[in-house]
Amino acid sequence: MDLNLLGLFVAVAETGSFSEAARKLGLPKSSVSRGVVSLEASVGTQLLHRTTRHVSLSTAGAALYERAAPLLASLKEAVGSLPEREEAPSGELRLTAPHDMGATFLSEVIARFTARYPSVRVDCRLTNRNVDLVAEGFDLALRAAGTKLADSSLMVRRLGALDVQLFASPMYLARRGTPRTPEDLTEHDFVAFRGLKYLSELGISEKHARVLADDMLFIREAVKAGAGIAVLPTFLAQADVTSGQLVRVLPRYTQPSTTLVMLHPRAQHVPRKVSAFRDFLLEFLKGRPLSAPHAGG
């Protein structure tokens, strides 16, 4: 049975008028009338007695109204009380991001977001693997756009540029010397993120790496300890540049930037908690862009 037709019937039964029911529902009177006729055809009996001045329930109509009206009211209340239909975002927001983002800006973003929206609970899973959002029940993911994004079931929103540069520790450069041109890099040790394409653009392959890893935080710490030169996001290295623990190598040579993106499952109606987090993160990044100014070295 079509619940929309049942709703038309209940409205007419409660107002005693097709005109009043149409006004209440914001529909043309003809639509309400046709809907009730369709419902009567569906159940195989007359539900309303019509006169030029009044509409009344038949015996079958009274029985149907007695059972249907409470059920429709209960259903309407249930739908209206869904967390995502409330004005303020609420419910649990499940998100995933790489470890380096979680250890830097994302923790502050989530702290401020939950302060603004106290009805939202955040479940943040930090991992460097590409999580299947739909299969594993996540609302959104933050990733660098260098990651392959071929899944058509996901929406992609660009959040901003991620600058990447070459960095080394003063200890390493004092021991091995400072490269002056990209060609000099072949004489140096590299700490490399597995699969990072920028190495090949520098004429270096993964086989040249003295240390290979799949975690940017590990790579940063290894570089600070003097293991070699690495390509790092500036947002991850900038604090150590300021403190003198890292130095930018070949500052005149700029590496191609990548992009920070937010992914979420496709839906006709994006949940409020997801759109609110997206907008909040964009607002945050306007004041603190991840494409840092040129680091000195």
Q: Which of 54-68, 106-120, 193-207 has the lowest mean pLDDT?
A: 193-207
CATH of domain 91-163+258-287: 3.40.190.10
CA distances from 35 to 3, 10, 21, 66, 274 (A): 11, 11, 12, 19, 37
- Structural domain boundaries in the chain: 3-80, 91-163+258-287, 164-249
Q: Which residue is it, tokens 């702290």?
A: 111
pTM for the structure as a whole: 0.62
Residue 65 to residue 60: CA distance in whole angstroms: 9
pLDDT in tens, 126-149: 998 888 888 899 999 999 875 555
Query: Same CATH topology for 91-163+258-287 and 164-249?
Result: yes
Q: Which residues lie across from 160 on neighbouring strands?
A: 260
CATH of domain 3-80: 1.10.10.10
- In terms of CATH architecture, what is 164-249? 3-Layer(aba) Sandwich (3.40)
Phi/psi of residue 113, nearest 5 degrees: -65, -45
pLDDT in tens, 205-262: 777 789 999 899 999 999 999 999 999 988 899 999 999 999 999 988 766 678 889 9
By the 8 A CB rule, do 157 and 261 touch? yes
